Amino acid sequence: MKNMLKKLEIHPDHILRLGLGFVLIYIGLSIFSDQGELFPFLTNFFLFLPNLALFVKIFSAFQIIAGICLLAGIFVRFFSFILFWQFLLALIINGVDLSTYKDFGLITSALALFVLSSKKTSSIKI
């Protein structure tokens, strides 16, 4: 069993990529199927957009693309950086409430994935 686990070479970034990837695909598909679900979170910050429905479609497509890329291991550093700021901005705009614990988990997961995907920091031993 121990030898089999060594051959699999599971790294922390793989687990973070899988977790964030599936969450993003779920978010994107959920928003795509019910676009009104996202409108309460947009607040007055995004109401200046001329076509809010188009923004929601683009946002959900981005979530799905980012999730697929993370699952496939493509552009991991880029997407984890963008997602960190997206999750942080969502927390700042929407404020702290009873579901904020999920936001902190997503923010720190994206940040950890960004740090782990860096070539300079991937060799750091703790």
pLDDT in tens, 51-95: 877 888 888 999 999 999 999 999 999 999 999 999 998 888 777
Q: What are the angstrom distances between the C-alpha of 88 and each of 8, 11, 48, 55, 121?
A: 33, 25, 21, 19, 22
Residue range 38-51: mean pLDDT, rounded: 68
Quote the CA–CA distance of 63 and 27 in Å, as a whole number: 7
Structure tokens at 5: 């686990």
- The rounded distance, in Å, linking the Cα atoms of 55 and 48 is 11
Structure-block tokens of residue 36:
């009104």
Q: What is the largest CA-CA distance in the chain?
A: 58
